[in-house]
A and B are shown apart, each in its own frame.
Chain A
Amino acid sequence: MSHSSVEVRNLRHLYPDGTVALGDVSFRISQGESVAIIGANGAGKSTLLLHLNGILTPTGGEVRINDLLLTKGTLATLRRSVGMVFQEPDDQLFMPTVHDDVAFGPLNLGFKGEELERRVRDALERVGVGHLREKAPYNLSGGEKKRVAIATVLAMTPEILVMDEPTSGLDPHARRRLMGLIREFPHTKIFTSHDLDMVLELCPRTIVLHEGKVAADGPTLEIFRDDELLARCRLEKPFLMQGCPVCGKRKAT
């Protein structure tokens, strides 16, 4: 993980029907950072993520990964650097077994035989689901599915992890365990989430998107203290920073 960075410059994206999804978004994320991208529904978070590994093509502006401009020519190399975990694990796990699913990415990268099996094994063990290898995805619980979905990406050994709503749909226990897991990853991490408590715990830096533009970009705590900003962007303080419903005390401020 020598040198990984994500840079977005004046990124614009128009949908075919003319709606502006992203209008002039710029930021730079350096190696090892853990950054949350938050915003109300329709603020452009998902669209932004899809630009980060070249699934969408910008209407204007550019995306640089590891200082390399994302173009058709560099796409294959850069997709290897940016691992993308989608919100809905059912969309990500499309193969008949967990093993086949985790092997899908490395196979596309041209790995075979022993090296392939090693990657599959390592990735599954990294997220603690080695025993699910031969299971079919529809027989997994929500938390297991999320973990396997992360393993499918880890097997490609990316330097940058991009995760869309990693904690959505999980029960409190599974959420807690997943957060513990994510915290340990040494990768450069980018999340979108409505789970602001998770953001508060995992991400020192937060970028707020509002109507396709960057409304704020700074330390997470500062952003969550800015009531006016949060209200304008249709967001709310994390529960940890709200008064205790019983005694009114705040745990974090």
Chain B
Amino acid sequence: MASLDGALLDFKRMERLADGESPLHRLEPRAKLLVTLLFMATVISYDRYAVTAMIPLFIFPVVMLSLGNLPPAYIAGKIALLTPFAVAAGFFNPLFDHEVLLRIGSLEITGGWLSFTSILLRGMLTIGGGLILVALTGFPAICRALEQLGAPRLFAVQLLFLYRYLFVLLEEGGTLSRARELRSVGKRGLGMRSFAPLIGHLLLRTWRRAERIHLAMLARGFTGEFHTTRESRFGGRELLFLSGWSTLFITLRLWNLPRLLGTLVTEFIP
């Protein structure tokens, strides 16, 4: 995972993207969450050797990026940064699966390479789907959506607390670990002897902070119950959004569009 400062920048960047103005930003969060989950479920439901059949699914990130006015390069960059993990995960497939499944001219492609490519595509699509969801919705709204979809309120509320104090703690942790690095010579001083007290101090400070937050809540009349003010409506636009994408996902899942297209072209244009 990224460094403390890098993570902080990432969070802030995503936060600013979610602050944007677009028809997709204005959609009710539940609709976006559900469509994203459905999208991902579609992606992973393909056969392990599926490659061409999955390509049309890129329509989802493409449309969402464009309509949501998100910077494609940034999202693509993040996906590329995370893809090595998918590469590592699929790395073994070509080693273990030697069967030739596909011939293009004289080129023989083994099942291992096909499934490896498939894993790469899966990785890109699922990672992209998740990032787009966050960039269009923002974390607090996703928490609210989770709650409205039936997640316990206590869980949703402490998720919000976690997110709120991520920013504070990443900064605090960054300061502490910088102070430690500045006083270490090379790797000396970065070992366990300085690590445990550093983490311990950070933990104690965090604990005291939690106590102060609780006091601040009490001072404003908190009695153990969290109230919500936001009312969001799952309206016609949301329904259209949800049903439109679901229909498309199912259609693409059932028919291999590229192959149909390819057959069409090769048969009618000799």
Contact = CB atoms under 8 A, between A and B. Distances in A.
Q: Check A-B contact in the complex, CB < 8 A.
A: yes
A116 B229 CA distance: 9
A107 B227 CA distance: 7
Contacts of A103: 229
A139 B215 CA distance: 23
A76 B221 contact: yes
B212 A105 contact: no
B3 interface: no
Contact of A91 (B212, B227, B230): B212
Given A116-B229, A139-B15, A79 B168 contact: no
A79 B221 contact: yes
B215 A96 contact: no
A192 interface: no
Contact of B221 (A95, A96, A97, A105): A105
Contacts of A137: 164
Nearest to A87: B212
Interface residues of B, number: 29
Nearest to B163: A96
Interface in A67-124: 76, 79-80, 83-84, 86, 88, 90-92, 94-97, 99-100, 103-105, 107-109, 116
Given A90-B168, A94-B164, A138-B167, A105 B220 contact: yes
Contacts of B15: 136, 139
Contact of B229 (A53, A86, A100, A138): A100
Contacts of A50: 215
B102 to A, nearest CB: 50
Interface string A113-153: 00010000000000000000010111100000000000011
A96 B220 contact: no
Majority DSSP secondary structure for residues of B touching A: helix
B222 to A, nearest CB: 6
A123 to B, nearest CB: 12
Interface in A30-70: 50, 53, 55
Contact of B212 (A88, A99, A109, A153): A88
B1 interface: no
A104 B15 CA distance: 22
Interface string A170-191: 0000000000000000000000
A156 interface: yes
A175 B140 CA distance: 31
Interface string B17-34: 001000000000000000
Contacts of A80: 221
Given A86-B212, A94-B213, A138-B167, A156 B12 contact: no
A122 B109 CA distance: 69
Nearest to B140: A96
A234 B19 CA distance: 49
Contact of A95 (B160, B223, B225): B160
Given A84-B216, A134-B19, 16 more contacts: A53-B219, A79-B219, A79-B221, A90-B209, A91-B212, A91-B216, A92-B216, A94-B161, A96-B140, A96-B143, A104-B217, A105-B220, A108-B222, A116-B229, A138-B12, A138-B167
A-B residue pairs, 9 tightest by C-beta: A108-B221, A96-B140, A138-B167, A105-B220, A107-B227, A84-B219, A91-B212, A92-B216, A91-B213
Interface of A: 50, 53, 55, 76, 79-80, 83-84, 86, 88, 90-92, 94-97, 99-100, 103-105, 107-109, 116, 134, 136-139, 152-153, 156
13 contacts: A50-B215, A55-B219, A79-B220, A79-B221, A91-B212, A91-B213, A91-B216, A92-B216, A96-B160, A104-B220, A108-B227, A136-B15, A136-B140
